[in-house]
Amino acid sequence: MVLDKRDMKIITLLSSNARLPNNTIGKTLHISGETANSRINKLLTKQFIKGFKLGINYALLGYEEYDVYIRLKNYSEKDLSKIIKELCANKLVSWVASCFGKYDLRLSLISAKREDFADFIEQLEIKQAAYIERYEIVQLTEKYKTSQTSLLSKLLDLDKATILKLSAKGSGGENPHLHNFIEHGQAIELDDKDKTLLSILSIDPRASLVHCAAKIGITAEAVKYKMKDLEKKGVIRSYSAIANASLLGKMQAVFLFKLRKNQMKEMISFIASIDNVTSFVKLFGAWNFSVSIFASDVQEIHNTLMSFRNTFPEAIIDYEMLLLFETYKYPQLPEVVYEK
């Protein structure tokens, strides 16, 4: 399947707002809602869109977020598959991917209690003792999603003006350049219906109001109100499409930086100015920045790394670079949230 301009525009619209109705997408692109739906389904079937994700501010729900980087030893492909399957099934884990570099696996998880996280690590060490050589734990303190305009212009054969116009259409206005997903405030208590709604939207952010209403046992209008309320409170931050970088001719890489703290603000501003950065996270632990990028080849990855080193020659204490291979569990509401 070769993407045409309309397919690329659909990916752009859904990247800015995955909940855009088919009729709205159709009207924007001068096609019918049925045709828009057919094209979206084809993009999903052919894996140009790998799925959709719900952006949640877990801090407002009383949770802390962590990333764990694992280096394995003495393992076969069968062993790796078993380890990944067990990690994906864990109720704290929200994201799992394999990678190449110093570490073989990267996973994200959330926990409201430090003891729950400690128990997860303890069980990981026990169950995978034969395979884990070492691991690093970092806590996420700030999480940014950069402006999608420059990024999508790198992924898709569309000019920036078109992407900006479509992104604004999807979001209801021009997106801010930086968007911190971890914002602390007064803890928000969810009722059972809120939790069920978040669970449904986490699995399918495009789920219709009618579908959600049937699952929850309330009216579609009540679902709409609850969704808007969660958005207004800052719990739900975004609904977006997951574009398949490899099918679009791109590689995904992650830089882990250990920086001198006196240049943190300068680094944040610099990262936000780079076109191929998808997101970046301020960390506490062995590393204090994680930067995710798309690149056409290894040379572009090298050039991006050198731009950091040239700009901050004395600020970078240490760094690692990882290539991400396969994602096995996409950002998903961990089971622990709706168990609470």
Q: Residues 218-255: pLDDT tens digits?
A: 999 999 999 999 999 999 988 989 888 888 888 999 99
Neighbours of 202 (CB within 10 A): 21
d(CA 8, CA 2) in angstroms, rounded, equals 10
Residue range 22-26: average pLDDT? 94
Judge whether residue 158 has pLDDT over 90: no
d(CA 278, CA 325) in angstroms, rounded, equals 16
Percentage above 70 pLDDT, the chain: 91
**pLDDT band for position 188 (50/70/90)?**
confident
Judge whether residue 318 has pLDDT over 50: yes
Judge whether residue 169 has pLDDT over 80: no
**pLDDT band for position 173 (50/70/90)?**
very low
The Cα-based distances of 94 to 17, 66, 177, 303 in angstroms read: 21, 10, 25, 31
**pLDDT band for position 164 (50/70/90)?**
confident
d(CA 134, CA 136) in angstroms, rounded, equals 7
pTM: 0.86
Judge whether residue 31 has pLDDT over 90: yes
In this structure, the chain runs to a length of: 340
Judge whether residue 176 has pLDDT over 60: no
Which two structure tokens, joined as six digits, stand for 145?
A: 């999603």
- What mean pLDDT, rounded, does the chain reach? 88
Judge whether residue 268 has pLDDT over 90: no
Q: What are the tens digits of pLDDT across the range 53-107? A: 898 899 998 899 999 999 999 999 999 999 999 999 998 999 999 999 999 999 9
Domains and CATH numbers, the chain: 63-140 (3.30.70.920), 143-148+248-327 (3.30.70.920), 189-232 (1.10.10.10)
Residue type, 273: S
Strands 277-285 vs 49-56: parallel, antiparallel or unpaired = unpaired
